[in-house]
Amino acid sequence: MLPPKSPPNTPDELLTRCQAIAGLTLGELARMANVAIPANLQRHKGWPGMLIEKWLGASAGSKPQQDFPELGIELKTIPIDAAFAPLETTYVCFAPLLMQPGITWETCNVRNKLQQVLWLPIEGDRRIPLSDRRVATGFYWRPSEKEDEILRQDWEELTEQIVTGHVESITSKQGTALHIRPKAANGSVLTEARGVEGEKIKTRPRGFYLRKTFTHHILTSAFGY
């Protein structure tokens, strides 16, 4: 088996590719794709995600859009424990700190990305050697009305704080499903934002993340526990 050379043409084809790698280990997938396996993820944090992208035929490169733009589908691998519970929060996208007026929940990047997600759980217990971790069965998810409402409330609260110049007082403790945390190479990276007087200030870049409780709920619903 070899990785596909072109993007899938339909959601069904993408799901079929997913099912073809379900149950295999990261080591097997890396070997077949001729990809080097790092000893651990300390210096290769995005490695599982990149490997899976290759196997599903996602277009390479970083774009602020979905992984499969023509299908409108976003791919998210998620590390899980033996009980299928998420081990990490899920990064969604950067939080725009200099927002153009007129951006609403309906038109924001968070909602755009989460419209249709292909979740692919992967064993993430650090006691399991990286190459022995198995890939689970991927599944599609789109937010229910209730889920969309929860996300909207979090997004609006956080966005309001950014727009009114209070980005510095945002804590990752805010938000029931969606929260904001720093997202940068290190603490010295700065970007522009608005202060309370509307002036430009420098602050650390932030990203939107999904809480583990929320993704756990998604996994639970999908597998019918």
Q: Which residues bind DNA (CB under 7 A)?
A: 40-46, 48-50, 52-53, 60-64, 67, 74-79, 87-91, 93-94, 96, 122, 124, 126, 171-173, 179, 181-189, 191-192, 204-205, 207, 211-213
Q: Which residues of 57-93 are buried (b: 16+ CB within 10 A; e: fewer)?
A: bbeeeeeeebbbeebebbbbbbbbeeebebeebbebb
Nearest approach, Cβ of residue 184 and DNA (Å): 4
Residues 97, 206: Cα–Cα separation, whole Å: 8
Give me the phi and psi of 220, to 5 degrees please: -60, -45
Q: Using an 8 Å Cβ cutoff, are 38 and 130 in contact?
A: yes
Q: Is 209 left (phi over 0), alpha (psi -120 to 50) or beta?
A: beta
Nearest approach, Cβ of residue 106 and DNA (Å): 18
Pick 4 or 207: Cβ nearer DNA: 207
Pick 9 or 176: Cβ nearer DNA: 176
Nearest approach, Cβ of residue 9 and DNA (Å): 20
Residues 141, 16: Cα–Cα separation, whole Å: 16
Nearest approach, Cβ of residue 200 and DNA (Å): 11
The β-bridge partners of 206 are 182
Pick 3 or 48: Cβ nearer DNA: 48
Helix-, strand-, coil-residue percentages of the chain, each rounded to 5: 35, 20, 45
Pick 145 or 185: Cβ nearer DNA: 185
Nearest approach, Cβ of residue 176 and DNA (Å): 11
Pick 145 or 188: Cβ nearer DNA: 188
Closest CA to 70 of 151, 11, 145: 11
